[in-house]
Amino acid sequence: MRHRTVLRPSRPSRRDFLAMAAAAGVAVPLLGCAGGVTDDGGSDDGTGDPGGNLDQVDISPPSQYAGRVNVAMWSAMSGVNGEALAALVESFNQSQEDIYAEVQFQGPYPESAPKLTAALRAGAVPDVMMLADTFWGRFLINDALEPLNGYFDDDFGRDDYVEALYDEGLVGDELYWLSFGRSTPLFYYNKTVFQQLGLPDRGPETWTELREWSAEISQLSVNGQPLKAHAFTGDDDWQFMAATWQFGGKLSEGLDVTIDSGGAVDAARWHQEYIFEDGYGYLAQAAGTDFGTGVVATAITSTGGLRGIYEASASAGFEVGTAFLPKEVASGVPTGGMGFSLLKGAAQERKDAAFQLLKFLGQPENAAEWTLATGYLPIVKASMDVPELAETLASDPNFNVAVEQLPEAQGSDAIRSYLPNGTDLIISGLQRIYSDGSEDPQDVFDEVAEQLRQGVEDIRPAYEEYFG
Amino acid sequence: MTTTTADRQGQTAGASTGGGAPTTRGRRRSRHHWRRRRKEYALFLLMISPNLLIIGTFDYWPVIYNAWLSLTRWNMLSGAPRYVGLQNYENLFSSSSFHGILLNTLTFSAAIVIGSVILGLAVALLFDQKLRGRGIVRTAAFAPHIVSGAAVATLWLFIFDPAYGLTRVVLDPFGVASPRWVNDADWAMIALIIAYLWKGLGFVAIVYLAGLQNLPEELYEAAKLDGAGTWTTFRRITLPLLSPVTFFVLVTSIIGTFQAYDMIAVLTGGGPGDATTTLSWYVYQQGFRASDAGTAAAAAMLLFVILLLVTGLQTRFVQRKVHYT
């Protein structure tokens, strides 16, 4: 009986009921937001148009650009390169009055690509996606990318680009990925150290020659320890693919994995001995940074790192030299870097606007500005005639090395591009070999190859739809 | 009161006589009663619905969906999950690298749990002394706990840097080269454990300190009178009385280490190779790097089951022995 009397005063009035119902009403839309699908209301009137099923990610135009079509670009560039890109996009916004573009940094390639996967699931995507050469393939074979041929016209097209780089974005005759920050690896060496030791002012012809020089380099000391001659990269397999080619092998032929035989195993074994038996090299946290600060005498890293390395070496007080990659039994120069793709599912109005941004970035003076600011390869032929770039190419041999090396360059082995965790598996194996002298490269790559082959089974049907 | 009694009677009458002869008035009252009960139930549902909705949406639904995903293969990019039964689990259990990952997880967890208890207690005992400036030291020791894991990991990357780091400066005078902590397969796990312990130590110490300061003074006085030495007092009085705190530290550290993500991401990225890949990092790697939802979900289910077992065991066996004062 007593509990009745206790309960009665707590019974709410009709008004309380209404208030609570209203509160519940507030909670439900909040839950809706948490789904991650946002609607800026600005530029997706095209929903319902062909390919208009994907919304746009959040974008917040400053007041002076209000009322324009919004274009969100997801970028993987930070530091010097990120600033250069942001400056170009800002010029784009000032150059016309219809489109507002915003660069949104999403972390380096391995982080930004999974974010695109998540965005596709959530149904709200960027309009322009920066993708590394080894990342766009996985989105291609899952039908996420927009074919671009129809966007080009007579005054802007393949002829304007360095064809070999442009063609890497082709599948058959159709373009899905437009090159922008393209690069090759370069051999960077500390000129000051080389002069001090009386070594020639050039890169080594072969890995064997590097080993000979390393014996001398390690006579010098830094911080009381012998100076290391070469820093190996452990968070990328790009340089290792180059070494594999230089030792006469391949990571894969098409999707047929060959990392467990020939050149790949030879290169890994050579590197491992150089690190652990000779003691000349090491696995670096960031090879480019170590080189720029003078901790190591040589490193292989992207042309796109040139500006950053210049800045660092200036304060460390040494001169930077660049050279072609060393050979061993063959020449091996992979292209790399990034380009832009549009998303198939975005509304047509957004895709049209997004392409205007790509077109702007492909104009000779803008492409030249990008190359000058970063060190990435000139991708637009006419950009090399823009006076500032022409002068730099003529006066700074380091910029020119990459351009001269380009004819030897070729695109990545397919296993890195189409298998989502292809590079991760190779990198993981590589880290084991570079970080532990007791790991046998053959055993490690046998394991890696087995995992790669399992993965290939899943993607082969989709791959063959585009390439079969 | 009378209404209620009448209600009851009407109800009982209705139920027992099976449609015998309740008065019209009684029936009306009964209906009235049920309406009110329904209204109360509706109110109850309305009150708990926001919570249920949130817990259901963000806790239970993901678990259920994850269980389903673990039985499928799906790359999260296109198409729909394809049912493959227990294939993902079979693959995990037969993979030697996955065994290594489980071992990493256990090593990491055990080192953190044991380290936290021993060091945390030691630091707490120190803080419990009447020393000058201990307030500042206590605050300083607690500070890492409130800093984000990513920031702490970045800090330790500087400390561990073999070329510029603090470890080099410390080792230099002895003519010893700093290990390449995070890039050496033998050192990376040790580096991770050191950084993780450092971050959590202040919290554990403060929890132990609170425990220490709540211990009854009489017991210590009695022990003193009985001639017990410092070690005996610690072993026979302090430790047993602190067992609820130890239990709390055990539970939180085990769960914390099994969920560790941020420091691994920044410090080692699970490498070199798989040297610092724990179960939680593996789930991320498979799900978002390898685009393999099925394997990630299966590994996440294992993580779920392991944590469920750990929690179950702890409540059954450890808690029973915990000494509450």
Residue B233 counted as domain residue: yes
Residue type (1 letter), A172 = G
A232: helix, strand or coil: strand
Q: Are strands A296-302 and A281-284 parallel, antiparallel or unpaired?
A: unpaired
CB-hemisphere CA count at 13 Å for A110?
18
Residues B35 and B116 in one domain: no
Q: Which residues fall within 8 angstroms of residue B85, CB to CB, at 6 or more apart?
A: B71
Residues B120 and B14 in one domain: no
Residues A96 and A237 in one domain: no
Residue A49 counted as domain residue: no
Q: Would you state the structure tokens that stand for residue A34, as one six-digit string?
A: 């948490």
Residues A368 and A241 in one domain: no
* CB-based contacts of B65-71 (< 8 A; 24+ apart in sequence): B66/B297, B66/B300, B66/B301, B66/B304, B67/B297, B67/B301, B69/B293, B69/B294, B69/B296, B69/B297, B70/B294, B70/B297, B70/B298, B70/B300, B70/B301, B71/B294
Q: How far is B172 from chain A (nearest CA, A)?
A: 7
Residue type (1 letter), B254 = I
Q: How many degrees, rounded to 5, is the angle at CA A356 between CA A355 and CA A358?
A: 60
Angle between helices B293-313 and B87-94 (to 10 degrees): 70
Residues B168 and B303 in one domain: yes
Measured between beta carbons, the chain B residues lying within 8 angstroms of A28 are 53
Q: How far is A349 from chain B (nearest CA, A)?
A: 24
Residue B239 counted as domain residue: yes
Residue A465 counted as domain residue: no
Q: Would you state the structure tokens that stand for residue B46, as one six-digit string?
A: 């309305």
Sign, Cα dihedral of A102, A107, A113, A116: negative
Residues B146 and B200 in one domain: yes
pLDDT score of B248: 87
Q: How far is B59 from chain A (nearest CA, A)?
A: 13
Longest dimension (CA), chain B: 103
Residue A133 counted as domain residue: yes
Residue B113 counted as domain residue: yes
Does residue A121 sit at the B interface (CB-CB below 8 Å)? yes
In sequence order, what E strands does chain B have? 72-73, 82-83
pLDDT score of A5: 37
User: Could you tell me the CA-to-CA distances from A155 to A151, A158, B88 in Å, in that order?
Assistant: 11, 10, 52
Q: Would you state the structure tokens that stand for residue A109, as one six-digit string?
A: 């390639």
Between A25-34, A354-363, B228-237, the lowest mean confidence (pLDDT) is in A25-34
- Supply φ then ψ for residue A186, to 5 degrees: -120, 155
Q: How far is B163 from chain A (nearest CA, A)?
A: 7
**The whole model's pTM is what?**
0.82
Q: Are strands A225-226 and A221-222 parallel, antiparallel or unpaired?
A: antiparallel
Residue B246 counted as domain residue: yes
Containing structural domain, residue A308? 185-334+413-460
Residue B74 counted as domain residue: no
Residues A316 and A441 in one domain: yes
Residues B125 and B255 in one domain: yes
CATH of the domain at B146: 1.10.3720.10
Does residue A120 sit at the B interface (CB-CB below 8 Å)? yes
Residues A213 and A256 in one domain: yes
Q: Would you state the structure tokens that stand for residue A247, as one six-digit string?
A: 């030792």
Q: Distance between CA atoms of B105 and A254, rounded to whole angstroms?
A: 36
Measured between beta carbons, the chain B residues lying within 8 angstroms of A427 are 271
Q: How many structural domains does chain A have?
A: 2
Residue B86 counted as domain residue: no
Residues B54 and B183 in one domain: no
Q: Distance between CA atoms of A255 and A453, rounded to whole angstroms?
A: 8
Indicate the helix (H) or strand (E) that contains B281. helix B279-284
Angle between helices A79-95 and A364-374 (to 10 degrees): 160
Tens digits of per-residue pLDDT, A377-424?
999 999 999 999 999 999 988 888 988 999 899 999 999 999 988 999
CATH of the domain at A173: 3.40.190.10
Residue A16 counted as domain residue: no
DSSP conformation letters of B29-63: HHHHHHHHHHHHHHHHHHHHHHHHHHHIIIIIHHH
Residues B34 and B157 in one domain: no
Torsion of Cα atoms, B300 then B306 then B312 then B317, to 10°: -160
Q: Which residues fall within 8 angstroms of residue A379, CB to CB, at 6 or more apart?
A: A161, A162, A165, A166, A179, A180, A182, A362, A367, A371
Does residue A293 sit at the B interface (CB-CB below 8 Å)? yes
Residue A171 counted as domain residue: yes
In sequence order, what E strands does A17-127 have? 55-56, 69-75, 99-105, 124-125
**Chain B residue nearest residue A2, CA to CA:** B1
Residues B49 and B183 in one domain: no
pLDDT score of A399: 84
Q: Distance between CA atoms of B166 and A285, rounded to whole angstroms?
A: 16
* CB-CB neighbours of A375 under 10 Å: 27
Residues B167 and B270 in one domain: yes
Residues A386 and A439 in one domain: no
Over 70: is that where the pLDDT of A10 sits?
A: no
Q: How far is A138 from chain B (nearest CA, A)?
A: 9
Does residue B97 sit at the A interface (CB-CB below 8 Å)? yes
Measured between beta carbons, the chain A residues lying within 8 angstroms of B77 are 117, 120, 138-139, 142, 144
Cα B115 → chain centroid: 16
pLDDT score of B23: 61
Stretch 264-323 of chain B: residues touching chain A, C-beta under 8 Å: 269, 271-275, 285-286, 288-292
Residue A283 counted as domain residue: yes
- What is the ipTM for the molecules in this complex? 0.79
Q: Distance between CA atoms of B309 and B315, rounded to whole angstroms?
A: 10
How far apart, in Å, do the first and last CA atoms of chain A sit?
80
Residue type (1 letter), A142 = N
Residues A441 and A327 in one domain: yes
Residues A426 and A330 in one domain: yes
Residue A36 counted as domain residue: no
B247 - beta bridge partners? none
Residues A327 and A421 in one domain: yes
Residue A10 counted as domain residue: no
pLDDT score of A72: 97
Residues A179 and A189 in one domain: no
Residues A304 and A383 in one domain: no
Whole-number mean pLDDT of chain A? 88
Q: Is A122 exposed, middle or buried (0-12, 13-18, 19+ CB in 10 A)?
A: middle
Residues A111 and A66 in one domain: yes
Residue with tokens 């397999």: A237
Residues B299 and B222 in one domain: yes
pLDDT in tens, chain B (325 residues): 334 444 444 444 444 444 445 566 666 777 788 888 888 999 999 999 999 999 999 999 999 999 999 999 998 887 789 999 999 999 999 988 899 999 999 999 999 999 999 999 999 999 888 888 888 888 888 999 999 999 999 999 999 998 888 998 898 888 888 899 999 999 999 999 999 999 999 999 999 999 999 999 888 889 889 888 889 999 988 999 998 899 889 888 998 999 999 999 999 999 899 999 999 999 999 998 888 999 999 999 999 999 888 888 877 776 665 555 4
Measured between beta carbons, the chain B residues lying within 8 angstroms of A1 are 1, 4
Longest dimension (CA), chain A: 102
Residue B237 counted as domain residue: yes
Q: Which of B69, B100, B119 is the last residue of a domain?
A: B69
**Average of pLDDT values for A8-21?**
50
Residue B223 counted as domain residue: yes
Residues A283 and A377 in one domain: no
Q: Would you state the structure tokens that stand for residue B243, as one six-digit string?
A: 């067992």
A282 - beta bridge partners? A231
B185: helix, strand or coil: coil
pLDDT score of B77: 84
Q: Distance between CA atoms of A128 and A359, rounded to whole angstroms?
A: 12
Q: How many structural domains does chain B have?
A: 2
Containing structural domain, residue B292? 92-321
Residues B46 and B166 in one domain: no
